[in-house]
Structure 1
Amino acid sequence: MKSLELKYLKELIEYRLDSYFGKENLMTKPNMPALSQWSLSIPSIIKEANLNDDEKLVLLLILCPHIESNLLDEVIKSKLESTGDFPQLGGVRGKNFRGFLPTGQTALFLLAGDNSKKRKEIQEIFNTGHFFEKNQILWLEDVPEGEPKMSGKIIISQEYAHLFIFGEPSRPKFSMKFPAQIIETEMEWEDLVLDEDTSKQIQEIKTWITHGNTLLNDWGMHKKIKPGFRVLFHGPPGTGKTLTAGLLGKHTGKDVFKIDLSMVVSKFIGETEKNLASLLSKAEKTDNILFFDEADALFGKRTSVRDAHDKYANQEVSYLLQRIEGYRGLVILASNLKNNIDEAFLRRFQSIVHFPLPKSAERLRLWKKAFPSKVRLHNDVNLSKNARNYELSGAEIMNVVQYSCLRALAANKKTIYQEYILSGIQREFQKSGKIMR
């Protein structure tokens, strides 16, 4: 049994074809069922948009091949006496999908017929600035130069098609168009050791993730503040910036996408902006978290203009600033040095969070949490002394613990000796060029 919305679409096509060919005993024009009666999962953005019946029909028309692939072909063939083309109905065949795919002309035929005033109204649905286009829900495919715009195929984004059918957003796949990988962690908040000020600021971010939509929509602040939330994490390597981003996603039910900047930044003029626009367009449909590690490469300071290249580079940074500012979700930029980020970005961050190197008390907590439960520490191990004497980041402490455990395994033991730990610390100091005292 067909759903109400597909039954309506079938009857509307039959009604329009019968009307066009002037057949007797015409059907009564069907009524569009309310969205609440549709069997599809309706995204909240669609529910809140107050779409008119024409807009709902366009949406239903392009969803149909994704839901019941043969419905349009069956209805059309049953009403047309020949299998030849019927140009007024529009439609094309895909490269892989050989069924009927609606075009703008299909929408014009079903909704306006020969009514020129109504045809203009329908074309507005596909114009730049319409709700569908602004939110990258559906649009018309570009047509060859000189051909009518409305002959273009109607395209619905794969993300929204998935959302309508399955009721949840699809995860974008890593590709040249979406150069981002999901950060996942098995650690919990209690495993993260931060100082008090940093912890308070992280709590503020968690509050925005939980209540941001309420603030913007229910409390009406969308008229006064920009959507989204922009955060800068800055501090030395290994102080918990990436782990914090992963935990924010894990405990708020959102994916955290770490952007591969090597695939975004390009030496070719215009390519960086194009790459970022494509990435953000896909990410916005998922309502997840974007994490730009080593963000200096993309959001670095603008320079004084000495030549055309400098001028273009500054324009590029300005574009990135505008695009990030319009992103509706949480964007986290991470940098080792706050001063490397352009001041125009800094002014627009809702939160700037410093991740300092851990102090002695915090290093002791890290040491105590770091060792696996299956090993024991020899009596000569003094974690308090190690924490007090050696300034290490959380990541460096974990490297020392890993080294010590491997030493124990190599010796076929389950005991960690101070000698192992000191050797590991020595190795970490050598990496950074520091002298161990």
Structure 2
Amino acid sequence: MAKRAPSSRPEAPSPETPQRQATGLARELDWLQAIIQHRFNPATAQDALPPPPPLKAGDGPYAAVCATLGLVAEERLILILALTPQVAPEQLDPFLLRNQATGRPFTEFGGLTGQVHAGFLPTAETALFLLAGRELELRLHHRRLLAPDGRLAASGLIELDLLRQGDEPPLSAALRPGAAWLERLLSGDGTEPRPTPGFPATPVTTALSWEDLVLDPKTLRQIGTIQAWLRHAPRLMKDPALARRLKPGYRCLFHGPPGTGKTLTACLLGKMNGRPVYRVDLSRVVSKWIGETEKNLASLFDQAQHRDWILFFDEAESLFSKRTETRSSNDRSANQQVAYLLQRLEDFPGLAILATNHRSHMDEAFDRRFQSSILFPTPDADARQRLWQDSLRNDFFRLAEDVDLVRLAADHVLTGGAITNVLRHVCLVAAERPEPVVTSADLSRAIREELQKEGRYAA
């Protein structure tokens, strides 16, 4: 087998023309067709498999991904089998053949039938049949290619989903192309995956920079520690003595009132270090079905691990809440979810950021697992003055002479998020005027409305 490819994300190929997209993929589909015919022909079923076509430069995104990752023939066969229902489902029609003796599909083919899709949907068993036929020794040898920690599954190139609960054999899992790779394989589009039930996260970015982040010195120093880990972690973990004592990965808790910069800091950590930041959509993670929440999280952690993503759990208290006394099956399931999260967080080798407005609601078992617990306090008067100055500096409107930012900062305790809401309000007011100008009265009115939203009232 070839050496494992580095775990960092390969460069996304640029979008291709339809003709170039199809070139390498068509040859790979022809190769799969030849292997299917080879296995179904009794005269050749036990012979060596036909070799794969060469990967040529310019053959499109599918060939480029296979070449970049250094996939060997067996891995390429599994990948093209997973992709075939998406692009050429008719090629799998031979697997719909029924055993005349039993009147049922051939067991060794594996496979599933969809609720809408009329064709054959491959499983891991289908891949083993093509790779090894009925040779037991060879089947045992190739099983590792389909293991969850194998390169294909761990990198997210393929997904193995055991749709049925109970004691189903693991290799009866549905074989699909990974959601994070599908468009990249077919069109070369490097767009990051969209949120789905199997991929419950969305990328978050910011146009701001570190200069726009207004925090107190202690908070900035603690964030600097995270920066240092992102820069030096690979070098630290190469030291044998340190690697024995330090677990890979970094877990931190951001806590404090809403609007104090927790999400912006997470985005900037990714932006400044070339790491995509994914905000976990908790509504897509949590499921009422037992085991589904854990499965959704497993998919997310596995993809993040092998693509150098930063995971950002906003409003984390809803997923990482305190465990309760077990009084019902729902309590037991909720406690199991928290325990599973603890284990996955400890094993995650990347940066995981949990953010909460209510630290007291978090399970205490997480405390020792955090390398950092960082308070984002409400900004003081000096910080508020800088926020006002930065926010109101623009070319769209001018400030009237009666605006006193020093007094504004001293009189009203607002977070950065609240000040941004005030900015939006006064921009709209200024836009309605012949000359875009913002007065002290405009700002006072906008501040009053913002405070009323929070149940407070301006002095």
TM range (shorter): 0.7 to 0.9
Match of 2:227 among 194, 206, 228: 206
TM-score normalised to structure 2 length: 0.70
Match of 1:289 among 310, 313, 322: 310
Cα offset, 1:239, TM superposition: 0.9
**Counterparts in 2 of 1:395 and 1:124: CA distance versus 1, 3 Å:** closer
* Partners of 1:378 and 1:416 within 8 A in 2: yes
1:381 aligns with 2:403: yes
* Partners of 2:24 and 2:63 within 8 A in 1: no
1:325 aligns with 2:349: no
* Partners of 1:140 and 1:150 within 8 A in 2: no
* Partners of 2:111 and 2:126 within 8 A in 1: no
Residue equivalent to 1:400: 422
1:418 aligns with 2:440: yes
Give the paired residue count.
422
Match of 2:65 among 9, 23, 41: 41
Per-residue CA deviation, residues 316-372 of structure 1 (Å, 9 max, x unaligned), is 322222233333433221112333322211211122222111122211111111113
In structure 2, how many angstroms separate the alpha carbons of the residues matched to 1:220 and 1:111?
A: 41
Q: How does 1:309-348 map to 2 (within 5 A)?
A: 310-348=331-369
* Partners of 1:234 and 1:354 within 8 A in 2: yes
User: What is the alpha-carbon root mean square deviation over aligned residues?
Assistant: 4.7
Cα offset, 1:120, TM superposition: 3.0
Which deviates the most, 350-359 or 212-221?
212-221
Letter in 1 for 2:140: K
Residue aligned with 1:233, SS: strand
**Counterparts in 2 of 1:140 and 1:55: CA distance versus 1, 3 Å:** farther
Cα offset, 1:233, TM superposition: 1.0
In structure 2, how many angstroms separate the alpha carbons of the residues matched to 1:216 and 1:267?
A: 39
In structure 1, how many angstroms separate the alpha carbons of the residues matched to 2:271 and 2:133?
A: 51
In structure 2, how many angstroms separate the alpha carbons of the residues matched to 1:423 and 1:351?
A: 39
TM-score normalised to structure 1 length: 0.73
Residue aligned with 1:380, SS: coil
Q: How does 1:16-415 map to 2 (within 5 A)?
A: 20-21=42-43, 39-42=63-66, 54=74, 57-59=77-79, 62=82, 90=109, 107-108=127-128, 111-126=131-146, 132=152, 137-139=158-160, 154-162=175-183, 171-213=192-234, 215-216=236-237, 224-265=245-286, 270=291, 272-281=293-302, 283-284=304-305, 286-303=307-324, 305=325, 307-308=327-328, 310-371=331-392, 372-415=394-437
* Partners of 2:179 and 2:199 within 8 A in 1: no
Higher Cα Rg: structure 1 or 2?
A: 1
**Counterparts in 2 of 1:166 and 1:434: CA distance versus 1, 3 Å:** same
Cα offset, 1:435, TM superposition: 5.3
* Partners of 1:376 and 1:414 within 8 A in 2: yes
Letter in 1 for 2:141: E
* Partners of 2:203 and 2:277 within 8 A in 1: yes
Per-residue CA deviation, residues 177-216 of structure 1 (Å, 9 max, x unaligned), is 4443433333232222122222233333334445545544
In structure 2, how many angstroms separate the alpha carbons of the residues matched to 1:431 and 1:149?
A: 52
Which deviates the most, 278-287 or 98-107?
98-107
* Partners of 1:41 and 1:166 within 8 A in 2: no
* Partners of 1:237 and 1:336 within 8 A in 2: yes
**Counterparts in 2 of 1:72 and 1:214: CA distance versus 1, 3 Å:** farther
In structure 2, how many angstroms separate the alpha carbons of the residues matched to 1:144 and 1:355?
A: 43
In structure 1, how many angstroms separate the alpha carbons of the residues matched to 2:132 and 2:179?
A: 28
